[in-house]
Amino acid sequence: MFVDSSTEKMIARYHFFSKYSAVLTTFIGFAVCIGWIFDIGILKSISSNWVTMKLNTALCLMFLGLTLLLLLNKKPSLVVYSLLWVPIAISSLTLSEYWLDLDLFLDQFFVKETLNSADSAFPGRMSHLTALDILLCSLSLLCFKTIRSNTKVWLTQVLAILVFLSSLDSLFVYAYGVSPLDGIAHYTQNALHTSVTFLVLSIGIFLIKPNVGLASVLTLDSIGGKLARRLLPMATFIPPVLGYLVLQGQHLGFYGSDFQLVIMVTLFILIYSTSLWKTALSLHKIQKNYVFSNQQNQKLLSTNKHLKTMSSYDFLTGLPNRNYCHHLLEHAINRAKRKNTSISILFADIDNFKNINDNFGHEVGDRLLIEVGKRLRLGLRESDILARIGGDEFIIIVEDPVDIKNIETVAKRVNDTLKAPVNINEHILCVTISLGISFFPQDGDNMQILIKNADIAMYHAKKSGKNSHQLYMSEERKSK
């Protein structure tokens, strides 16, 4: 599939971010593991009043980040995918503990943790939401082993979007200072750096194959791609920022909860109207550039067509020129060989044309050539080819002429078209032509020989009194 340079650059940027997210996830997981081993509080939790990232969570994130990094830097293998079974096993067992009310002694298998007021009622156990996010990330990465078709990569990307939304929800809890959903399905709050890591990791997974599936719209160098890259960040980050500002205004006592809704609606209208206006201007500019580019292409095509016409047709009469005539004759010979048929070449030369040029001037001579070309065309079938090969010389190609008698009838009809005098600038000119005729394959099996022999026959016609036609007399025809 052809990919232009701008799309390649966008794909490269998305791949870089995906690698960056894999490295960052691995680093954070490793740092938190160090924090638990050496009891470094700031690595386990950003603040002493906030939830800690559990050791099991850190291990899973480290394995997920390492798997993503290996997938981006080498061909997926069984060894790479085997790393996923660690987070899959830990998250599945943790969810079983929540759903089946079990204690599998997994929570404090490596280190002991005292109960923190900000944490769940199970010391050392990752939250229900964290376990679910780890499982979704593991399954999304595992899809690259089980799903080979690019058309089904959307499943991986959908799972990554679910993790992204889940991590956004957890970050909103911290940003807005609200209480998490304590009573729903054993929901417990994620650690802040856990939520940030899941946010970055989910985007990295989504962009593993940015030119395929749901992500492909972001790499398109089209109006749709530009629109997605402009509006998607705004739709993702502007509403949370507005929500935070409006909520802070309410906490500071600037307005009540009812007026808060009015401000939110007004700000949304202002922001999205402005973005729509800017997008419309950008699309208009793109369309203008497209129209201009299309006009340039049309001019280029027209110029190319004109150049092709100039290279293939005689500028004076508009008939095929020498080169194009040779090309057409070659094709006619090839067709005759395939069909086992014949071709007749009529080489025509205007009698006494030099005298007309000398006596009346080249302008009259040129107009005479144009008129002769028109009249010769009238004496031929639509399928016959008429070309001017230079000076006062014309070639007529008649495919499948049946027999000599038939082609002589054609020659007589062509001569008859010039019987009527030609009036040019009040000069009455009587014009005749001499014709030489050769046949394929009797008089030659290639273009050069056929034209040469027709030319020889034409000179015999001139010697015999002009205004006539002569067949090329091959040895075979002379013996008859």
Q: How far is CA 14 from CA 72, 203, 214, in A?
A: 11, 10, 14
**Could you tell me which residues come within 8 angstroms of residue 174 by beta carbon, excluding any fewer than 6 positions away?**
50, 192, 195
In angstroms, how far is the first alpha carbon of the chain from the final one?
65
Catalytic member of 314, 349, 351, 392:
392
CA-wise closest residue to 168 among 243, 102, 231, 106: 243
For residue 99, what are its two tokens? 């759903």
**Collapsed DSSP state (helix, strand, coil) of residue 5:** helix
Cα(270)–Cα(266) distance, rounded to whole angstroms?
6
Active site residue 39: no
Q: Are 26 and 66 in contact (CB under 8 A)?
A: yes
E strands of 382-432, at which residues?
A: 385-390, 393-399, 422-424, 427-429
Q: How far apart are CA 352 and CA 392, in angstroms?
A: 10
The C-alpha atoms of residue 394 and residue 278 are separated, in whole angstroms, by: 64
CA atoms 271, 272, 273, 275: torsion sign: positive
Pairing verdict, β 433-440 and 469-471: parallel
CA distance 433 to 422: 14
Task: Extract the tokens encoding 400.
Answer: 């499948």
Compute how many other C-beta atoms are within 10 angstroms of the C-beta atom of residue 318. 12
Q: Are 206 and 160 in contact (CB under 8 A)?
A: yes
DSSP 86-129: HHHHHHHHHHHHHHHT---S-TTSSS-----TTS-SSTTPPPHH
Other beta carbons within 10 angstroms of residue 361's beta carbon come to 12
Helix (H, G, I), strand (E, B) or coil at 75: coil
Q: Which helix (H) or strand (E) holds 300?
A: helix 257-312
Contact 352, 462 (CB under 8 A): no
In the three-class reduction of DSSP (H, G, I as helix; E, B as strand; rest coil), residue 346 is classed as: strand
- The C-alpha atoms of residue 231 and residue 247 are separated, in whole angstroms, by 24
Locate all alpha helices (DSSP H) within 38-84, ordered by sequence. Answer: 41-44, 55-73, 78-82
The residues carrying an active-site annotation are 392
